[in-house]
Structure 1
């Protein structure tokens, strides 16, 4: 029986699996609440299996399911996966760049050639969007939240620069945010508007931290990965818009949410 190698990335919200069979790489993800189903599925499709695991819940999975597996440091796996995908997807980028991993929270990594270092972290990310979004609306489902955010108008909730300057000339772009949620007491906004403002606030904060990290480390290229931008067009557009405004080259990887799992897989 042919032995199949697999990489597992077990995070706070999702478990992501990468394995290769017959020369083709396969990708699969499950909610972390369906861990048993995920492992059962993997063992069914690959009865003879060699595994490496990364992520916050890696030790628990190793202990319960794959005692002979290897544990790979999460940040190492993430950057290895990003480096692999940049080459696989033929993305042209400078040798030194930032990897911004937006999952439940957000991590920043400085990559230079074969070297990689985590330089920054924030509690603002996909978990913020899901958790705070469900408090601002009656919606609990992540995908429905992303759809609503795309439909909303942040200007109905956020105070914009043009709201302050009105007819006067503004020293900066009028559509930039002067104060997040400053119009929150007004009644003429909808759930979609609140979610658009939330998505914008997350994007702005991530971009501000990215800009500072890029300036300090003298880099111009940013690779955005992570589960929080998958299907979340409002967040993705916000990130791209602000990063481009700051003159940073932005790269979104097609399979970026699987960087950790790919990095684990490559170590098998």
Structure 2
């Protein structure tokens, strides 16, 4: 199991620094963790200071500014293997960074912020294992807060993906809202976001990541979501999908704008092939299934954006996993149905929106700690703003092992 902790830097080991602010998003399929680990406080001169791992921007007038260096770490586990998650938390002592409930000294309830249905389902388990109380945050509140946090603070967070090419998008913070947030987990929620804490869940679909995994497991015998994704990478959906060209003798249906390669019916060839399931390659089944679900999500997302006149659609959730074919399929669907007027935008930290939202809620509820307050309130728009700078990998590629380098300037 990939535990999602950066392994190529000794500084990413949480045991080497003070760990705090563990936050959890316990979903139906996956558990997502976010936590902050900091190094020793240092002071830096009022100038840019660069290294191979981070860029520090300080702008606080003359003199020096105390700064907390650290990382935001990300980890994920299958919910069905929650004991692996508990062992990871205990081994790295992440539960020791909790807060006394409502900041009352001597309180017996050390709390950890959590969201998702599992925050209710497993609350007794965490209490028995660690003696901690899961303080539950609303799932939709956390998804929106996490998305806003990323879009306002992380450089090169949002990007488009078309024909195998990734283009990062510069977000204008003054023109961020409104947008449509499509969170693809086990199911799909579509949320119209109008500002900080201002949102409405306008639609959704029960055909999501859980559908892909569940049907894929039944049809291919894959044992994990990632195995199914890898299988789809090697498949050819045209073996199973009925295309427009299959109906029109290899020709386009130009009158209504359909090319011969457009899918007319997902799994449609299985009707006339006179084959049993064992006669099909699992790779082709996985590919067709992924294409069907991704196309469906892309189309429904655009139709909801159209309802509210939204041109910007952000896709989050662990369904995509940074998988090229999934993102490309969603992009093509949005582009096709909008006639090129709308763009699908993806997030590098797509699967951790809820956990990040739970992380930021420490400050919202008045816990007396400067770290989250600085992270939430300070935005690195330019060097003229005191704040912190977050950096992902230098090549712009996100992977499951990524942590984010942070520098928090304490006023």
Could you list the per-position Cα deviations for residues 123-177 of structure 1 after superposition, in whole angstroms to 9, with x for gaps in the alignment?
1111111111122223323222112212211111111112222254413222221
Say whether 1:264 aligns with 2:358.
yes
**SS at the partner of 1:204?**
helix
- Find the counterpart in structure 2 of residue 179 from structure 1: 265
Q: 1:148 and 1:36, CA in 2 relative to 1: closer, same or farther beyond 3 A?
A: closer
Counterparts of 2:252 and 2:344, CA distance in 1: 30
Describe the superposition over 1:179-216 as per-residue Cα deviations: whole angstroms up to 9, x where unpaired. Answer: 11110142475221111111111012111211210111
> Is 1:20 aligned to 2:36, yes or no?
yes
Question: 1:146, 1:231 within 8 Å by CA — same for their partners in 2?
Answer: no
Are 2:86 and 1:39 aligned? yes
Q: 3-state SS of the aligned residue for 2:319?
A: helix
Could you tell me which residue of structure 1 aligns to residue 371 of structure 2? none
Q: CA deviation at 1:2?
A: 5.7
Assess if the C-alpha contact under 8 Å between 2:20 and 2:37 holds in 1.
yes
1:241 counterpart = 2:332? yes
Q: Specify whether residues 69 and 135 from structure 1 end up closer, same or farther in structure 2 by C-alpha distance, changes over 3 A only.
A: closer
Structure 2 residue runs of 5 or longer lacking an equivalent are: 1-16, 39-69, 100-111, 159-170, 363-411
TM alignment of 1:89-128, pairs within 5 A: 89-90=154-155, 91=158, 92=171, 94-114=176-196, 115-128=198-211
Residues 233-254 of structure 1: per-residue CA shift (max 9 Å, x gap): 3322211222233332222111
User: Which residue, out of 315, 320, 328, partners 1:224?
Assistant: 315
User: Is 1:48 aligned to 2:97, yes or no?
Assistant: yes
Instruction: Tell whether the 8 Å contact from 1:146 to 1:234 is kept in structure 2 after alignment.
Output: no
Distance 2:297 2:260 in 1: 20
Match of 1:146 in 2: 229
SS at match of 1:65: helix
Structural RMSD (CA):
2.1
Distance (whole Å) between structure 1 residues aligned to residue 147 and residue 18 of structure 2? 28
Change (3 A) 1:7 1:165: same
**1:8 matched residue in structure 2:** 24
Task: Extract unaligned runs of 5+ from structure 1.
Answer: none
> Contact between 2:298 and 2:330, CA under 8 Å: does it hold in 1?
yes
User: SS at 1:228's partner residue?
Assistant: coil
Specify which of 142, 162, 169 is matched with residue 245 of structure 2. 162
**Are the counterparts in 1 of residues 240 and 285 from structure 2 also a CA contact under 8 Å?**
yes
What's the counterpart of residue 298 of structure 2? Answer: 207
8 A contact 2:22–2:97 mirrored in 1: no
More helix per residue: 1
Taking structure 1 as reference, are residues 49 and 193 closer, same or farther at Cα in structure 2, changes over 3 Å only?
same
TM-score, normalization by structure 2: 0.61
